[in-house]
Each structure stands twice: as C-alpha cells, then as structure tokens.
Structure 1
C-alpha cells in the first residue's frame, strides 16, 4: 500500500467512525460496522489505530480539531466580557450540535493534545478580562470554573437534564461570581477605586495577568517572580509567610 493510499484509508476510517457515532444515538458502534462503512478490513483499522479505544481517541482528537477551527475564527469584539460570552455560546452550540462526538471528547479523562489549545484559548479570553481589572479570582482558577461549568451544562443537556435556559442561567451566575461589575464610566455601578468593586484583589489579578504575558521591564527574573508572588498574595488575601 502506498503512503497516499495508507493516509486515505486512515481518513476513511476516521470519517466513517465519526459518522456512525453521530448516527448511533448513543448506542455502541462496532469495529465491524466501521470497517464496513470505510470499506476496509479489520487489520487495516488495527494497523492505524491499534484497537477500538485508539480509534475512539483519534475520533475525539478529530472532534477537537473541528471545534478549534471555529474557536480560532472567533472575532474579538473589543469587549473581553462579550468575547467570553460568545466563546461560551460557541462551546454550547458545538456540543449540542454534535452530542455523541462531544461526549467522546469531554466525557472521559483522556485528552488529546488539541484539548490543550482549547484551554489556552479559554485562558486568553479570561486573561483579557483580568488585564482590564475585572476578574475576582486568578485567571487559571476562573478558566477552570468556566470549563467545568460549560462541559457540565452541555453534558447535562445531552443527557436530557435541564432546559433551554440552563446555559444562560449558569453562564450569568458564573459571570456574577467571577467578574467585577463595570464602573460608572461604563454606565453601571461600581464601588471601589477606579469604579470597580473588586478592589486591590482585582487590580492585583489584572497586573499578574499582564506580567504573565510580558514580564516587567527593568526587573530581573528573580524580581519578576517575587512581584508575581506578592500579587498572588494580594489576589488571594493571604498574609506574607515567614
């Protein structure tokens, strides 16, 4: 078999597996059915993927690539909170449009490398809110909360639990918990310096996020690390040790 035919066979198996999963309604799909749909023998499937779990892992990775295509193309609005809101909506829409594939992607602890890029995109969206001085908790913690809530909502809806309002109610509850309201200059209320009610913690989180992207010029690596530790303490409300 030539390299090209080898690649084409692998592609056919992947596409057949993804299609059969989408059509299965959650029922198991056999390797025999996948081989039949792809027009290959079982040895070809095992040559490319090792076993059925290897094939399912490859299908999940393929799903992440599809998801990332839309995430990469998401335009920035100039409002970091609106960008995060749209990112949430895109995530929910993808999951509900591809329930079997989404369950394969997020219903297991196995994660392909592409999942790391999806998390980096989420970190970027949350980090932009932090740099605007509008985040109540550190970027990584906020991103993990958003991820856990988003996947939980989609998996619940796929399982037939909850209603159409669940994604919006969950998102807005999270935004209330994680995001500092805009100040009077934005036409809403705020109580702390600069029009925000997050006080020093939100400002420390914002500066920490900015320094993570670009260390402070004129400081050594050690000084930048020490500054980061101080900012983390302010953000968490912790006293200094020692």
Structure 2
C-alpha cells in the first residue's frame, strides 16, 4: 500500500475510533507507522490530511447511497435513503460528527453536494405526493435524518445507550407525515 493511502486509512481509523479531538500528526503517524515528514509531504499539514479524510468519508457515503437497491415506490425509496443515512451515523458516529463539522465550517466537499443532489432527485420523483415544496421537503428530511443521527453522536454525552429503534422510526415517520399529502398516506 502506498504511503498516501496508508495515511488516509490511518486518518479514517483515528476519526472513527477517537474522533476529531484526537486527530493529531502524532496519532495518525503512529497508526500508519509513518513519520511526520511523510504526512507533510503528501498532505501539506495535518489539516490537509483531515480534509482529505473527510472527503474520502463523504465519497464512501455517497458510493453506498448510489449502490443501494431502491424500491420502485419513490416514498419507500426516500425512507430507505433516510434509514441508510442514519445507519451510517449509527455505525460511525465520530466520523459522522467530523464530517458534519466540516460541512458546518463551510468546506466545499463535492461528494456532500452530490449526496444532497441525490436527495433532491429522490424527492422530485415523488413531487405529486408531497404537501410542501420540494425544497421544504428536502429541509424536513435533511433535518430529521440529522436529528436522528445526532442521537447516536451524543449518546455518550447524554450518558445513554444508542437510541431505540422506536425513537428513530418515530422521528422518520413524523417527518414523512409532514411531507406526504393526505391522499398519499404516511406509509407506502
């Protein structure tokens, strides 16, 4: 494996296991078993490596979204996409938190923009079944998926275990009751 890839893999591992607070040159180099000058040669700085790792994480997330088998029913496909999003955060909460931190900091991450475009296309496919506008639906779906995901990220802070599947399902279904017009129904 090339040094670049070893450092990138070490960065992702560190983000997943320890989070962004522990993301230091020393910690990444220790995992990769590579010296700091090699990190600086390939990424310029530890922040350059962090940016590359976050971009890689978004690319992995987008690839999984694109590869997922979708229902032919647009509302079911949107639910499945919502569930995939939350599952990603549940499986990788520290990495998810670092990814969202970069988005909130205004980083331009092409895979993040593409993932949002994918959400908009899934919503547009069911436009005739929606109560609010496509943009409002996107906001509701985005906010509800992020709220559910944050329950996994903050479980340790709240000194609780992972949220129950019932709580996650309730957040999702409340969002879907809001976006679907009464003729479409809340469940597919």
Normalised by the length of structure 1, the TM-score is 0.67
- Once residues 75 and 181 of structure 1 are traced to their aligned partners in structure 2, the CA distance between those partners, rounded to angstroms, is 27
Change (3 A) 1:153 1:111: farther
Change (3 A) 1:25 1:60: closer
Match of 2:163 in 1: 163
Specify which of 90, 98, 115 is matched with residue 118 of structure 1: 115
SS of equivalent residue, structure 2 residue 126 = helix
1:46 counterpart = 2:40: yes
Change (3 A) 1:23 1:107: same
Match of 1:137 in 2: 132
Asked if 2 retains the 8 angstrom alpha-carbon contact of 1:126 and 1:142, the reply is: yes
Q: Pick 1 or 2: higher relative contact order, CA cutoff 8 A, min separation 6.
A: 2
Q: How many residues align?
A: 177
- Once residues 31 and 70 of structure 2 are traced to their aligned partners in structure 1, the CA distance between those partners, rounded to angstroms, is 41
State which structure, 1 or 2, has the greater radius of gyration over its C-alpha atoms.
Answer: 1
Shift of 1:144: 2.2
Which consecutive residues of structure 2, in runs of 5 or more, have no partner in the other structure? none
Shift of 1:55: 1.5
Shift of 1:167: 2.0
1:57-72 mapped onto 2 (5 Å cutoff): 57-72=51-66
Which consecutive residues of structure 1, in runs of 5 or more, have no partner in the other structure? 190-242
Match of 1:176 in 2: 177
1:12-31 mapped onto 2 (5 Å cutoff): 12-24=6-18, 28-31=22-25
Normalised by the length of structure 2, the TM-score is 0.84
SS of equivalent residue, structure 2 residue 176 = helix
1:36 counterpart = 2:33: no
